[in-house]
Amino acid sequence: MSFSSITQTTITPHSQKPLTERTYPKESEVSDAIQRAAKAQKEWKNVALKDRIKIAERFTEEFKKMENEIPLELTLQMGRPVAQNAGEIRGTLERAKYMISIAESSLADVPLTDTDKPGFRRYIRREALGVVLIIAPWNFPYLTSINSVLPALIAGNAVILKPSPQTPLTGERFAQAFYNAGLPKDLLITLHLTPELTQYAVQHHLVNFVSFTGSVAGGRAVERAAAQAKTIKGVALELGGKDPAYVRPDADLQYSVAELVDGAFFNSGQSCCAVERIYVHDSLYDDFVREYAQQVQNYKLGDPTTEGINLGPVVSVASANRIRKQVADAVSQGAKPLIAEDKFPQATPGSAFVAPQVLVDVNHTMEVMTEETFGPVVGIQKVSSDEEALKLMNDSPYGLTASIWSKSAPDSLVENLEFGTVFLNRCDYLDPALAWTGVKDSGRGISLSKFGYDQLTRAKSVHLKSLNP
């Protein structure tokens, strides 16, 4: 995307042509939108929970009606092959339906009847926070937004949704589907904001909570802005990852290779929970590397609107240049690339197309094994034991997900891995029944599961004493 003083222009990654423009609001218009949301929320929080849930259920129906329009529209905004975008729609609906299914139990009063003394009644109630500002990313814009938008509204909040300038149409789709479902006016407002206006919104006195998904640098900026606001507010940060996988001696080789190729290269590796580093036990290492490189060579890189393409461009030329440099730096330090770039002629300098790459002879002195790549690149390192694998997996400033590939997951690994999610024989997946969370520089806070509702509400303790004899 590009910015001017009054507009943002979204650039289609594969063609580098302008797709759509949006005009930025004035600061006064941002404030007016937040004030309208705050006013609407005062009434919305008193609407019966069952009625809020009914609107959320109708939202899923309205969103599904868009399933034929969204795939190409999303490809033109962020570059993923069009054939793969139906999966984002399915995932969005899966998460929405699960969060709807647990809403009543998650938001119910917690009675303390068993320990109440005679004449007393005590309970804990979950109450809406007020206005929730959700700052969404471009890489999985529907999947990430639904994690907070839908439960925030069900819980009785109003939402200001700031979509990425790379995917501006996604925020507008959400608003359209919710309002078609009967959501009252001003409870979901989509705003296209400059960095300066985003900071203004974060610090606005009527914004009660901020949910940010994006880079570590972006998360730190949001956290600083919130800390400097005149009013105290909560902040949830879902940030980067450098997610590892460990292939143990008893792993199913063919299955593990196929899953880890997809886990590393789907969406051109542009996922916070993509597999970016793989540690393989030395007893399997040679066979694993050979099979892995062979499968990666079969990718078809090209125009993501074309049938048969399963690897599209990265989001921008600037991102492509950064990824190429990380690979080049690793090679200059002794890493060995296994994929010949001439197999992917579309990956030319100055374009957003990046050839998939598998690097071996890597180590943790190389940035490719320690810093987020966010591209179609993976490093594979040989290890000799569970202990060595554990040490290397934890040797990272990030802690989003980690996966173990084996017939079993030893407690010594599961208990000592410093990550928000630990997988066995799967990766790069969010189960809406589980808390989505990270540690270290991968952020803080929780979305999805019952605990996702806890984040979007506050506890109110009610302590009642009867004076009747």
Domain with residues 243-424, CATH architecture: 3-Layer(aba) Sandwich (3.40)
Does the structural domain 7-240+442-465 have CATH classification 3.40.605.10?
A: yes
pTM of the model: 0.96
- pLDDT at 410 > cutoff 70: yes
Residue boundaries of the structural domains of the chain: 7-240+442-465, 243-424
Give the end-to-end CA distance of the chain in Å, rounded to a whole number: 70
Query: Can you tell me the mean pLDDT for 80-84?
Result: 97
d(CA 71, CA 135) in angstroms, rounded, equals 22
The residues near 291 (Cβ < 8 Å, ≥ 6 apart) are 253, 254, 257
* Residue among 307, 302, 439, 279 nearest 369 (CA): 279
Instruction: Render pLDDT for 201-255 as a digit per residue (tens, 0 to 9).
Output: 999 999 999 999 999 999 999 999 999 999 999 999 999 999 999 999 999 999 9
Q: What is the mean pLDDT of residues 122-140?
A: 98
Q: Look at residues 245, 327, 330, 261 and name the one whose alpha carbon lies nearest to residue 294.
A: 261
Arithmetic mean of pLDDT over the chain: 97
Asked about 238 being catalytic, the answer comes back as yes
Residue from 127, 223, 238, 259 carrying the catalytic annotation: 238
Tokens 């650039």 belong to residue:
11
Cβ(187)–Cβ(40) below 8 Å: yes
Band of the pLDDT at 409, cuts 50, 70, 90?
confident
Q: For the residues 285-290, what does the mean pLDDT come to?
A: 98
Ranges of H-type helices in 266-385: 285-296, 317-332
The pLDDT of residue 145: 97
> What is the token pair recorded at 53?
């849930």
pLDDT band at 388 (very low <50, low <70, confident <90, very high): very high
Strands of the 18-23 sheet, one edge to the other: 2-3, 7-11, 18-23
Is residue 1 pLDDT above 60, yes or no? no
